Structure 1
Amino acid sequence: MTGFLTLTGKRALVTSGTRGAGAATVALFRDLGADVLTTARTRPPELPASRFVAADLTRAEGCAEVADAVRTRLGGVDIVVHMLGGSSAPAGGYAALDDAEWRRELDLNLMPAVRLDRALVPAMVAQGGGVVIHVTSIQRELPLPEATTAYAAAKAALSTYSKSLSKEVSPKGVRVVRVSPGWIETESSVALAERLAAEHGTDVEAGRRMIMDSLGGVPIGRPSTPAEIANLVAFLASDRAGTITGTEYVIDGGTVPTA
């Protein structure tokens, strides 16, 4: 196959597309020719209103609003990238996580993908093709017990769900792939470093070192950039990855040790 990577003619939904890796993915998809709809709670001024939906995806109603917008504004969808995720749980280990904290983490990191897939994948099957990309996390294998136990568990659930979905719909023409980032230099990762620093009475650089140490270090010596995550997602969404399904691509600078 020759020529450049292209997504020309593809209709795409990218959740959480206003910051970090999500914003980088939206921008790259558009550069590659895709018609992209994205969503978050608030629209930044640089995004066109016709290709943005203000919605709270932690609620079933918000997911329904986005699914309806995909149908009415894009006329269907070829690529769905579930970029939404994060954690607001307090530090303090498992004992600090009450039922409400667990519910918040699941509602943010698992249920939006489940609900949107349920709404959108049947049409992909009917049209004979599509790609679903679930962005998980290496924390499903390397959780940070002090601060992100519930987040890691929710991402592990997303990964297992993704594998099951792939086995069901890949024979029907819909590819399902997981992208598992490590530490990305985004606003939320900086905020986590700041929160850890404040809780331990130290500075932000020390907070970054806590993250690095908790993960066992990043062999390349730096986090991934949002653009690097977007590049991987774009390749997996493209026709060049036409036989890739049901698997997970780790992009973590070597953080997860392998045998």
Structure 2
Amino acid sequence: MTDPRHDDKTTGPEGPDAPLHRRGIKSYVLRAGRMTQAQTRGLEEVWPRLGLSLADGRQDLAALFGREAPRVVEIGFGMGASLVEQAETHPDTDFIGIEVHAPGVGKLLDEADKRGLTNLRVYREDALRVLEECLPEASLDTVQLFFPDPWPKKKHHKRRIVQPAFVELVRTRLKVGGTFHLATDWEAYAEWMAEVMDAAPGYANTAGPETTPYVPRPAFRPLTKFEARGEKLGHGVWDLIYRRLG
């Protein structure tokens, strides 16, 4: 059987003027799944304290966390293990996670509560709408996008979240000097990401004038169980970090 990782002929990203929200097209698919007792507890008992919604409107992040601190947003945190670890390891930084899948949100909330974390908030919403409607311009130090769905089939490339309009939206939410950190275990998607980011105005690749746009996995990005298992099987992972220039 052909490995889909090597059958990824791209048609190229959409233009920078393409709309962020196309009717009926999302970068994710909501999947039904059973909720564990812990995940249900997170959504029912912890959500009122750590959960956020579009209805809350534009956030005053200093008021939200009760302090001025570096701010990190992670888009699509999955089951939340990496984000919880970051929040626990860096108590002087405030984190906001965005995820649409209920089991992952519930799991993260349950873990955050058990660890007594106060520097973490969560949206169960479409990330594009959160960025547009809830997070102020030039308010973030880092935006993280780790292992988004690669949508490997050519006909699905329009679903990839990394498009010119999306990275421009991220840029406006970053402070000048802030960073956009992307990671994927699909080489063809890594190449797509680099193409989009290198063409985007107002960004500089932190890899510098090297022959590759990628950087070694930074120590501050936790190694997930999935990634560790992939490394043992010889799968690659590509990290890209771009800084906002202006």
Please classify the TM superposition score into its range, dividing by the shorter chain length.
0.3 to 0.5
* TM-score w.r.t. length of structure 2: 0.45
Bigger RCO of structures 1 and 2 (CA < 8 A, at least 6 apart): 2
User: Larger helix proportion, structure 1 or 2?
Assistant: 1
* TM-score w.r.t. length of structure 1: 0.43
